[in-house]
Structure 1
């Protein structure tokens, strides 16, 4: 076990605190300003008020944007969960020509810049599918989110499958269980937590995606990140934007937190 000198531990601890402060202090300022009585963001806040939270409760455009984000993230998560798990099983359980290529192609969308993915999908929808009469509309945005969310489920499930004991499945089938019964009672429980953790991460990733959404969202459709970006051009609405951003922080935090808990319990 590596032992560090006391002075080194203190220096590393201070460095970690400084990095975390640099990352999370701006987020705390956003949350604080959402409770400010002023119309513009400032520090220290001039006074505490729930005015902007009350206004957010009656802001129809904000409610619609949140609903669009939830629908899109849910749809993308379903696509990512099904395809990510199936591809993970195919790559882990079977050997076939081009397996490494498939593995690369599944991971590639998360590595590509969002603007590249957005432009590529937008061109496909408008220049290829549009002329032949296929208008994906809202579903096209969901598919676009699903392309880069797949890797979240894929990586989690694949890592868990590599640690699974195949003897349990063989024993189940030797005792007379069919393939689906074995999957339901033996296989799925072994990777269930990794599957759910990947789905939660996929939801969080989709919920706050903005770049791909800009290129693939139908006209007039705003998700929460798009709504925030559009409102940033209105200085008098800054505190309302802070409320929306606080909601986005909380919604993103919850699935990530539970994903980490599930992953930790699976170890």
Structure 2
């Protein structure tokens, strides 16, 4: 069985937990001490990761490198790896756009093999089982599946095209994370008027995720002519409460792209999405 040496860049809360799962099927999992905090060192030790002094040593010893770092520094980190001349497998698992992921691939190829990755879910601790979606060369994505086989990190291959895993990660994040912000705005507005508990009670009657009901997009489009002004009113209410209104104004601007399909009961999901792209 292939027992690769794996390097993790870097052992943050997600990176360290994912790397710890990789130890089940790897010869060893390395992390680089250079420039990392004492908190990172403690976390890496708790997860059983092996320290090395500097990036060149990690790259020399690693067959597979997994990059899980803040999105803002993902390309700079990849550039450092490319400048060293790394020739193993580089898993770009950061929450960055497909376009940026492809730029990372351009930096590292043909010397290295790049796998696009995206982790959906919470760090794999205390019973959590996130999924690592991957896309890239089929023989290499199979190696990544093997690396996490039997662990709390589930893997799913999306195909051979770099960018697919990143697209899925950001598509999901755009809803999941923005919806949390919307919750803050809605509860904040309600609290300003003393009806926050009533709002929560109303919402508790429905527990399904709107994301699982894409067919409703067509109905949204047909109602956009009145939903948009309603959100503008809500934005005004947020502003009056001292809360930021920009998100709701942006939603109203999006709805404006559907103004020409007012009350169109025949509109399909495909039509609605097409009109959103080409109003």
The TM tier, using the shorter chain, reads under 0.3
TM-score by length of 2: 0.23
- Which structure has more relative contact order (CA 8 Å, sep 6+)? It is 1
Higher strand share: 2
Q: Which protein is richer in helix relative to its size?
A: 1
| TM-score, L = length of structure 1 | 0.24
